[in-house]
Amino acid sequence: MSSELSPIDKAKYACAVKSVDFVKDGMRVGLGTGSTAAWMVKRLGERVRDEGLNIVAVATSTRTAQLAEEVGIKVSTLNEVEWLDLTIDGADEFDPDLNLIKGGGGAHLQEKVVATASERMIVIADAAKDVPQLGAFPLPVEVLNFGWKTTRGLIEEALEDLDVDGREITLRMSGDEPFITDEGNLVLDLHLKRIGDPRRMALILNQIPGVVENGLFIDICDVVVIGHEDGKVEVRGLGGQIMEEGTVDLGAPNLFKDI
């Protein structure tokens, strides 16, 4: 498998495989969305098939739910399960305090609801997502279709009083059409370059009429599993504490060739 994957994919594979070790029999598990999370779902499906692992999963998007069902994972809804033992999801950036930017895949609303309904949130990410300060990755903000241009104007006004290095806002597109979330909303991407105070930013954005949710995850993540291209993995807790280090075999059969 090693020769078939790019360096970044090797890192994603490593953290995805390691993260599934946190899942125990009988757990209620939230399944994230994105390329790294998809690999985690397939690895979890392997454990269900080969070990008889008995879990109930709640997906954060329709595409994750479809993948989970394909690999034999029992999928339920959050209304049915209500509370989860664990959520495993990716991130676009994480800082030393384990604050995150999420939403590159446009699923951050459901991802935040599922993560906050969990006893623990474990983030899986390659080492490039580890940043000293959030903001280089555009911040996604889900907004109502109704009056979205007015909402964008209100966000532009709010950014004038916030500690950021950029203020460009773009409507996310899917080909020639606006990208539509699972809830039927639009996504505005805020190109801020640097976010001086993520907590204040998150609070102010969610007070703006028309904003449904932003992609800042503050005080939600408990553990980050960081993957490297050589197969090394690092499990990091709050305060930068190194909880565990190890290596994932990159020579294992390629279970993820279709992702």
Q: What is the DSSP string of 80-115?
A: HH-SBSEEEEE-SEE-TT--EE--TTS-HHHHHHHH
Q: In the annotation, is 111 catalytic?
A: yes
Marked catalytic residue, from 111, 213, 229, 234: 111
CATH number at residue 146: 3.30.70.260
| Binding annotation | 33-36, 89-92, 102-105, 129
CB contact burial 220-249 (16+ within 10 A = b; e otherwise): bbbbbbbbbbebbbbbbeeeeeeeeeeebe
| Binding annotation for substrate | 33-36, 89-92, 102-105, 129
CA distance 21 to 90: 16
Same-domain pairing of 195 and 123: no
Same-domain pairing of 102 and 13: yes
CATH number at residue 232: 3.40.50.1360
pLDDT tens per residue across all 259 residues of the chain:
445 788 999 999 999 999 999 999 999 999 999 999 999 999 999 999 999 999 999 999 999 999 999 999 999 999 999 999 999 999 999 999 999 999 999 999 999 999 999 999 999 999 999 999 999 999 999 999 999 999 999 999 999 999 999 999 999 999 999 999 999 999 999 999 999 999 999 999 999 999 999 999 999 999 999 999 999 999 999 888 889 999 998 875 455 454 4
Ramachandran area for residue 138 (φ above 0: left; ψ -120 to 50: alpha; else beta): beta
Same-domain pairing of 32 and 125: yes
Q: What angle do CA 200, 114, 227 make, to 5 degrees?
A: 80
Q: Cβ distance 33 to 61 under 8 Å?
A: yes
Same-domain pairing of 59 and 120: yes
- Give the domain range for residue 196: 139-213
Same-domain pairing of 118 and 235: yes
Please enumerate in sequence order all residues whose Cβ is within 8 A of that of 13, keeping only pairs 6 or more positions apart, or say none: 1, 5, 39, 227, 248, 250, 256
